[in-house]
C-alpha cells in the first residue's frame, strides 16, 4: 500500500466557450505534451484542466496497481494519505481543486461568498448555489494574464465619472455627489457611497444600459479611427468586452474595478466578497472545492445582482495592493510559496535550472498534487517499486509525508507547481 501513495493522474479537461481555441490554449499544450495520443481540435476551446476530486471532474489514477479508480474513490478508502490534520479538518476529503485556465473571452463579473453566506444561499437556492462551502481562489499567471480585482481608489472612479458621461449617466447625479463628498469622510462613509454607486449601475434598466453603451462604443470607435489615444478611459478594453458581450452591464464595471496585468509568476488572491473577473491569458488556479459564484455581468449564467451588491467588500485600494506576493522558502532555494490566509490550500512554485540533475520534492503533512509545466523527469520514492516518467503536462498525486526525487532526463529548466494544504 505504501508504494501506492505516489502515482500519476489523468485530469479532466473542460471545454467552456470562453476558453482559448485549440493549440493556442496552455491547457491544450499541456494535454498534448503529456499524452502523445491526444488529438487537439483547433475549432474547440480548451478552457480548464482540473486536478482534484471535484464531483464534476474527479481525476483518474494512472497506475496499474490501482485499476479503474478515481482519485476521490481512492482517497475515500485511504484517508490517512491526506495527513492527520487535513483529514480531521476537512472530514476525510481533499479540500482544494487545482486548475490550469486558458481564458480568451472575459469570465464574468463575480464574487464568492464566505462560509456563512454560502450556507444561507445553499439553503435558499441550491439550484444556483450547489454547496455550503466558501470558494477563495488564487490565480498565478503562466503567461501575461489580465483580470479585474477589487474596487479602484475612489479618486480613479471619480475621474472616469468625469471623462465618461455615459458612465456618469447610469450612476446618477446624487450617487456621484455622495461619492465625491465621501473623500472628506471616514472609510465607512466611502464604502457606503461606493456601494450606492455600484448598486445604481447594476440595477440600471437594460434598455438604458444598451443605449448608453452604444453611445460610448460609437464615441470610442470614432476616436480610435481618428488615431486618438483612448487609454485614459480604457477604450480598447471597453470595445473588447462589448464585442464579447454586446449591451452587457458588466462592460461598465471596468470603471469601478482595478485592472491587473500579471506577468508570469505574479498572482492575485480572491478572498470572499471581492469583485473580480478574468479577462485574458493563462494561469494556474487553486480554490477551495466549491461551486458557489455570485455573478452580475459578462456571463450567460444566472445573475444575482441583489446578493452581489449586498455581499461585496467596498474597500477601495490601488491595483498594486491587489497583487499577492509569494515568499521564498528557507529550506529550498528553488521554491516559492503562495500561502493565502485561508486553511484550504497553499501553492508552491518550483523553478529548477536544467544544470541541477536531481531535485527533491520535500515531504509535507498534506496530500498534494504536482503539475509539471515545463521539463522532463523521472519521479521515484523510497517505497516505490518503479520510477514514474513525468513530462510537461504530467500530474502526480503525492500522499502526505512522502518525499519524491525528480531526476532530469532532459537538461532543461523545470517549472513545477504543487498544491497542498499546510495547516
Q: Give the helix ranges, DSSP H, for 268-382.
A: 305-311
Delineate the domains of the chain, giving CATH numbers in brackets: 6-95+345-420 (2.60.120.10), 103-322 (1.10.441.10)
C-alpha cell at 316: 477601495
CA distances 311 to 171, 299, 301, Å, are 19, 19, 19
Q: Rounded CA gap, 100 and 46, in Å?
A: 10
Q: Kindly report the backbone phi and psi dihedral angles of residue 303, in degrees, each rounded to the nearest multiple of 5, phi listed first.
A: -110, 135
pLDDT given for residue 330 in this prediction: 92
Reduce the DSSP state of residue 308 to 3 states and report it.
helix
276 annotated to bind ligand: yes
CA distances 337 to 139, 141, 155, 162, 329, Å, are 13, 14, 34, 42, 7
Q: Rounded CA gap, 264 and 273, in Å?
A: 26
* Residues belonging to the active site: 295
pLDDT given for residue 148 in this prediction: 98
CA nearest 402: which of 82, 90, 96?
A: 82
137 annotated to bind ligand: yes
Reduce the DSSP state of residue 131 to 3 states and report it.
coil
Exposure string for 300-316, b = 16+ CB within 10 A, e = fewer: eeebbbebbbebbebeb
C-alpha cell at 237: 478594453
The pLDDT profile of the chain, 423 residues, written as one tens digit per residue, is: 444 799 999 999 999 999 999 999 999 999 999 987 889 999 999 999 999 999 999 999 998 888 788 999 999 999 999 999 999 999 999 999 999 999 999 999 999 999 999 999 999 999 999 999 999 999 999 999 999 999 999 999 999 999 999 999 999 999 999 999 999 999 999 999 999 999 999 999 999 999 999 999 999 999 999 999 999 999 999 999 999 999 999 999 999 999 999 999 999 999 999 999 999 999 999 999 999 999 999 999 999 999 999 999 999 999 999 999 999 999 999 999 999 999 999 999 999 999 999 999 999 999 999 999 999 999 999 877 789 999 999 999 999 999 999 999 999 999 999 999 999
pLDDT given for residue 226 in this prediction: 97
110 annotated to bind ligand: yes
Amino acid at each position: 500500500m505504501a508504494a501506492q501513495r505516489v502515482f500519476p493522474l489523468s485530469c479532466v479537461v473542460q471545454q467552456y466557450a470562453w476558453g482559448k481555441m485549440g493549440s493556442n490554449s496552455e491547457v491544450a499544450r499541456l494535454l498534448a505534451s503529456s499524452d502523445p495520443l491526444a488529438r487537439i481540435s483547433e475549432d474547440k476551446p480548451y478552457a480548464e484542466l482540473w486536478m482534484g476530486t471535484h464531483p464534476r471532474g474527479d481525476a483518474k489514477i494512472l497506475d496499474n496497481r490501482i485499476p479503474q479508480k478515481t482519485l476521490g474513490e481512492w482517497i475515500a478508502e485511504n484517508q490517512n494519505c491526506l495527513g492527520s490534520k487535513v483529514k480531521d479538518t476537512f472530514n476525510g476529503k481533499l479540500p482544494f481543486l487545482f486548475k490550469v485556465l486558458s481564458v480568451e473571452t472575459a469570465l464574468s463579473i463575480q464574487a464568492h461568498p464566505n462560509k456563512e453566506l454560502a450556507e444561507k444561499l445553499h439553503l435558499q437556492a441550491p439550484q444556483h448555489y450547489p454547496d455550503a462551502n466558501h470558494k477563495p481562489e488564487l490565480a498565478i499567471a503562466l503567461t501575461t494574464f489580465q483580470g479585474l480585482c477589487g474596487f479602484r481608489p475612489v479618486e480613479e472612479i471619480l475621474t472616469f465619472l468625469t471623462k465618461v458621461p455615459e458612465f456618469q449617466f447610469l450612476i446618477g447625479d446624487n450617487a456621484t455627489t455622495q461619492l465625491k463628498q465621501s473623500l472628506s469622510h471616514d472609510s465607512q462613509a466611502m464604502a457606503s457611497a461606493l456601494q450606492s454607486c455600484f448598486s445604481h449601475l447594476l440595477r440600471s434598466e437594460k434598455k438604458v444600459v444598451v443605449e448608453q453603451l452604444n453611445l460610448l462604443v460609437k464615441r470610442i470607435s470614432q476616436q480610435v479611427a481618428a488615431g486618438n489615444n483612448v487609454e485614459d478611459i480604457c477604450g480598447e478594453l471597453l470595445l473588447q468586452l462589448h464585442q464579447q458581450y454586446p449591451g452587457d452591464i458588466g462592460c461598465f464595471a471596468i470603471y469601478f474595478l482595478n485592472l491587473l496585468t500579471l506577468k508570469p509568476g505574479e498572482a492575485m488572491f480572491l478572498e470572499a466578497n471581492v469583485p473580480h473577473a478574468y479577462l485574458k491569458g493563462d494561469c494556474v488556479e487553486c480554490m477551495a472545492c466549491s461551486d458557489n459564484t455570485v455573478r452580475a455581468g459578462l456571463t450567460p449564467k444566472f445573475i444575482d445582482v441583489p446578493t452581489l451588491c449586498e455581499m461585496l467588500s467596498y474597500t477601495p485600494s490601488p491595483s498594486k495592493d491587489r497583487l499577492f506576493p509569494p515568499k521564498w522558502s528557507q529550506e529550498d532555494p528553488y521554491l516559492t510559496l503562495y500561502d493565502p490566509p485561508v486553511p484550504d490550500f497553499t501553492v508552491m512554485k518550483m523553478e529548477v535550472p536544467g544544470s541541477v540533475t536531481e531535485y527533491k520534492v520535500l515531504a509535507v503533512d498534506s496530500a498534494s498534487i504536482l503539475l509539471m509545466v515545463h521539463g522532463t523527469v523521472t519521479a521515484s520514492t523510497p517505497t516505490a517499486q518503479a520510477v514514474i516518467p513525468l513530462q510537461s503536462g504530467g500530474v502526480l498525486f503525492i500522499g502526505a509525508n512522502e518525499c519524491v526525487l525528480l531526476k532530469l532526463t532532459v537538461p532543461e529548466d523545470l517549472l513545477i507547481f504543487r498544491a497542498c494544504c499546510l495547516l
